[in-house]
């Protein structure tokens, strides 16, 4: 019997669906899943036919975080093992965060620890109403990974991030949407359709401009106003001279729907 892939990849009509595929362990992040996620992220980033990526989980959980059973099994080698795991995981996270195309997270159930980091990584994060969120690390004497300490304060503010990180309070899906942790919630049965509708719309869009928007938003969190204004000027100059920009302007003037280069046939 062939072993199931830890992360499956399905590509259709410009959209890549990445599914964390360890439902028996609630999609815990171990070496196989971490490596598979990194490889899938590289594949999606480099494939010109992929214009949008959706990340979701299999089964009833999105991802419960690191494989704590593994941490216990390795005993005195925990520092070395977890450090190597985190580096591989972070390589995948960074590739997903910086690839030149948008990312949607379809959060199908509870997300904790590293799973929380993945859940909030999406440019658009759509949560099933059964989803719950927890930082979880300090409850077992560990510290965050996957970018949680960078993303949480930027999404929900320092005070709320401090509470979530230090007390490990669980946050339900509706509260998560209210505080800005996720974009919106939908009924569990509607999650896939909602994510697909959003992904298809983005795949039809000006992906080059969307990539530039992603970079501006990320960089704007850590640079000053003058540098950000310079980056915006450079980006709008580049996009206005691109085939996407020329088509977008022509469509606006012609009062028609734009047909951006490379967009799949609807």
Mind telling me the catalytic residues?
90, 145
C-beta of residue 90 within 8 angstroms of C-beta of residue 121 = no
Picking from 143, 147, 167, 166, the residue whose alpha carbon sits closest to that of residue 155 is: 147
Question: What pLDDT score was predicted for residue 266?
Answer: 62
pLDDT at residue 143 tops 80: yes
C-beta of residue 245 within 8 angstroms of C-beta of residue 239 = yes
Picking from 182, 16, 180, 38, the residue whose alpha carbon sits closest to that of residue 101 is: 16
- The residues, ordered by sequence, that sit 6+ positions from 197 with a Cβ below 8 Å of its Cβ are none
Query: Which is more confident, 74 or 212?
Result: 212
Instruction: Quote the mean pLDDT of the chain.
Output: 94
Question: What pLDDT score was predicted for residue 2?
Answer: 39
Question: What pLDDT score was predicted for residue 181?
Answer: 98
pLDDT at residue 265 tops 80: no
Q: Full-prediction pTM beyond 0.85?
A: yes
C-beta of residue 53 within 8 angstroms of C-beta of residue 101 = yes
**What's the rounded mean pLDDT across residues 144-161?**
96
pLDDT at residue 260 tops 60: yes
The DSSP letter of residue 26 is: T
- The residues, ordered by sequence, that sit 6+ positions from 69 with a Cβ below 8 Å of its Cβ are 25, 28
pLDDT classification of 1: cutoffs 50, 70, 90: very low
Long-range contacts of 144-147 (CB under 8 A, 24+ apart): 144/113, 144/117, 145/66, 145/86, 145/89, 145/90, 145/113, 145/114, 145/117, 146/89, 146/90, 146/93, 146/113, 146/114, 146/116, 146/117, 146/118, 146/121, 147/90, 147/93, 147/97, 147/117, 147/121
pLDDT at residue 151 tops 80: yes
pLDDT, tens digit, for every residue of 17-47?
A: 999 999 999 999 999 999 999 999 999 999 9
**What's the rounded mean pLDDT across residues 242-266?**
91
Picking from 166, 142, 141, 140, the residue whose alpha carbon sits closest to that of residue 153 is: 166
pLDDT at residue 148 tops 50: yes
pLDDT, tens digit, for every residue of 90-135?
A: 999 999 999 999 999 999 999 999 999 999 999 999 999 999 999 9
pLDDT at residue 68 tops 90: no
157: left (phi over 0), alpha (psi -120 to 50) or beta: left
pLDDT classification of 139: cutoffs 50, 70, 90: confident
CA distance 232 to 209: 12
Question: What pLDDT score was predicted for residue 189?
Answer: 98
Question: What pLDDT score was predicted for residue 72?
Answer: 86
pLDDT, tens digit, for every residue of 39-55?
A: 999 999 999 999 999 99
């Amino acid at each position: 019997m062939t072993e199931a892939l830890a992360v499956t990849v399905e590509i259709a009509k410009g959209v890549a669906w990445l599914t964390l595929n360890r439902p028996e362990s609630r999609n815990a992040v171990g070496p196989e899943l971490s490596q598979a996620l990194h490889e899938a992220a590289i594949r999606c980033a480099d494939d010109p036919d992929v214009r949008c990526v959706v990340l979701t989980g299999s089964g009833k959980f999105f991802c419960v975080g690191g494989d704590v059973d593994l941490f216990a099994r390795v005993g005195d080698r925990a520092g070395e093992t977890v450090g190597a795991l985190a580096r591989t995981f972070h390589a995948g996270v960074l590739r997903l965060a910086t690839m030149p195309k948008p990312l949607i997270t379809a959060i199908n159930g509870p997300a904790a620890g590293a799973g929380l980091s993945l859940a909030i990584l999406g440019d658009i994060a759509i949560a099933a109403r059964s989803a719950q969120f927890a930082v979880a690390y300090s409850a077992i004497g560990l510290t965050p990974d996957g970018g949680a300490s960078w993303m949480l304060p930027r999404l929900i503010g320092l005070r709320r991030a401090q509470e979530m990180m230090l007390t490990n309070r669980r946050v339900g899906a509706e509260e998560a949407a209210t505080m800005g942790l996720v974009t919106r919630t939908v009924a569990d049965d509607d999650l896939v359709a909602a994510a697909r509708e959003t992904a298809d719309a983005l795949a039809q869009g000006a992906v080059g401009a969307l990539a530039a928007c992603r970079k501006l938003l990320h960089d704007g969190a850590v640079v000053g106003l003058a540098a950000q204004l310079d980056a915006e000027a450079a980006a709008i100059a580049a996009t206005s001279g691109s085939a996407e920009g020329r088509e977008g302007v022509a469509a606006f003037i012609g009062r028609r729907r734009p047909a951006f280069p490379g967009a799949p046939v609807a």
